[in-house]
Amino acid sequence: MEINRFNPPVRTLMGPGPSDVPPRILEALSRPTIGHLDPLFVSMMEELKLLLQYAFQADNALTMPVSAPGSSGMETCFVNLVEPGDKVIVCQNGVFGGRMKENVERCGGIPVMVKDDWGRAVDPQKLEDALKAHPDARIVAFVHAETSTGAQSDAKTLVGLAHKHDCLTIVDSVTSLGGTPVKVDVWGIDAIYSGTQKCLSCVPGLSPVSFNERALEKISNRSTKVQSWFMDLNLVMGYWGSGAKRAYHHTAPVNALYALHEALLMLREEGLENAWNRHQKNHLALRAGLEAMGMTFIVPEAERLPQLNAVSIPENVEDAVVRSRLLNEYNLEIGAGLGDLAGKVWRIGLMGHASRAENILLCVGALGAVLSDMGAEIETGKALSAVQKALQD
């Protein structure tokens, strides 16, 4: 088999991630590689931590990117905070709450599940009932923005309930960071993780995390070793800690960190509130177009995540055929449903650089054209006009 250079096409990425990466970040990725202990690189690491603190709205000293994708940020939180025998209340309203449960079990913890329907936010009353029923619980874990459904939960309320019952919190903000309000200090979140490939519009492969003093106290008073050498924060902080002198831990992904630095700089230049408002405005425009077409959202509006839109697939329409045609005919990627929602919904992302007016018009126009060609009973004539009107409002 002959193997040539790989030259991918230019796609418009409007699925659940990765999102479109702007040229400015791609340029940063291509800069000369220097050593991961080079004094200049160490200086950039310090800036990265400050930029991440801004993104998380956290003053936590232990705020850094883990050198692996978002799932590694999740594991970093669980392996450092959960010891064998610890009871952990896990809220599940989609795929990623289930992954939290898996992490608890692999750490030797005891998961107590609080389940809500897929497409709904976590019910605070169910969490409070579980906390009362399990006074020996040590940690509460939940997904702020459930990527599999597009539902957003009330993190402030859930964290408040956990602290009321003397529990630490682990929060998944993979799809929310940079796209919808995440306020670590104000809400009192103890440990939080995210990913770079969603609303930060950076390349995949890094996982920002942040831990407050309550979490660090739990880590420093463990009676057992952290089960992962690579993710043991007691070791990692020798490399990511304060000061210019760093202890070698691993070879950091130097160029990927250049890209993250640029992405976070762009977020600061736009301003967090402006970024949040942009995602919300563009969600309303996409919603206007899809609803004018006759499509419906599965998440109630008050619980809906603006940057990840889950819509029901029209009857008698083949999910995979539509997505394949969008990819091949329009270079447009949208996402399939996961788990209980597989084959029932499409997940349309408006994350980071992908959250732009031209992307919304492309998506609504292309989706309408393909569905009409396949004989779906939808209204296409009013859709683009509805988008344009919403964008002007």
Q: Give the CATH number, domain containing residue 215.
A: 3.40.640.10
Does residue 358 share a domain with residue 332? yes
Does residue 236 share a domain with residue 281? no
Does residue 304 share a domain with residue 263? no
**What is the Cα–Cα distance from 183 to 53, expressed in whole angstroms?**
10
Q: Residue 244 pLDDT more than 80?
A: no
Return the pLDDT at 243: 62
196-223 pLDDT, tens digit per residue, is: 999 999 999 999 999 999 999 999 999 9
Residue with tokens 């919190």: 169
Query: Helix, strand, or coil here: 65?
Result: strand
Q: Let me know if residue 247 belongs to a domain.
A: yes
The rounded percent of the chain whose pLDDT value lies above 70 is 99
**Position 347 confidence tier, pLDDT thresholds 50, 70, 90:** very high
* Contact residues for 372 (Cβ-Cβ < 8 A; gap 6+): 378, 380
**What is the Cα–Cα distance from 297 to 287, expressed in whole angstroms?**
8
54-91 pLDDT, tens digit per residue, is: 999 999 999 999 999 999 999 999 999 999 999 999 99
Does residue 296 share a domain with residue 258? no
Domain range for 167 is 23-268
Q: Let me know if residue 8 belongs to a domain.
A: no
Q: Let me know if residue 16 belongs to a domain.
A: no
Which domain-ending residue is among 252, 268, 284?
268
Which domain-ending residue is among 245, 268, 291?
268
Which domain-ending residue is among 268, 302, 322?
268
Residue with tokens 């960190």: 257
Residue with tokens 């919603």: 287
CATH number at residue 367: 3.90.1150.10
**What is the Cα–Cα distance from 166 to 41, expressed in whole angstroms?**
40
Residue type, 275: A
Does residue 290 share a domain with residue 159? no
**What is the Cα–Cα distance from 316 to 233, expressed in whole angstroms?**
51
Distance between the two ends of the chain, CA-based, in angstroms?
A: 55
Which tokens in the block code for residue 352?
């980071």
Does residue 207 share a domain with residue 347? no
The total number of structural domains in the chain stands at 2
Q: Let me know if residue 13 belongs to a domain.
A: no
Q: Let me know if residue 7 belongs to a domain.
A: no
CB atoms within 10 A of CB 320: 9
CA distances from 146 to 19, 127, 297 (A): 16, 17, 15
Q: Let me know if residue 31 belongs to a domain.
A: yes
Residue type, 109: G
Does residue 64 share a domain with residue 119? yes
Does residue 304 share a domain with residue 178? no
Kindly state the helix (H) or strand (E) to which residue 193 belongs, with its residue range. Answer: strand 191-193
Task: Quote the mean pLDDT of the chain.
Answer: 96
Q: Let me know if residue 141 belongs to a domain.
A: yes
Does residue 30 share a domain with residue 169? yes
β-sheet bridge partners, residue 210: 63, 192
Average pLDDT over residues 368-391: 92
Does residue 342 share a domain with residue 212? no
Does residue 203 share a domain with residue 276? no
Kindly state the helix (H) or strand (E) to which residue 75 belongs, with its residue range. Answer: helix 70-81
Rg (CA), the chain: 21
Does residue 248 share a domain with residue 237? yes
Average pLDDT over residues 336-350: 96
138-194 pLDDT, tens digit per residue, is: 999 999 999 999 999 999 999 999 999 999 999 999 999 999 999 999 999 999 999
- Closest to 77 in 3D by CA, of 204, 145, 178, 172: 172
**What is the Cα–Cα distance from 290 to 367, expressed in whole angstroms?**
9
275-299 pLDDT, tens digit per residue, is: 999 999 999 999 999 999 999 999 9
The rounded percent of the chain whose pLDDT value lies above 90 is 94
Angle between helices 357-373 and 272-293 (to 10 degrees): 20
Return the pLDDT at 377: 84
pTM, entire model: 0.97
Q: Let me know if residue 134 belongs to a domain.
A: yes
Return the pLDDT at 378: 84
For residues 174 and 65, the answer to whether their CB atoms sit within 8 Å is no
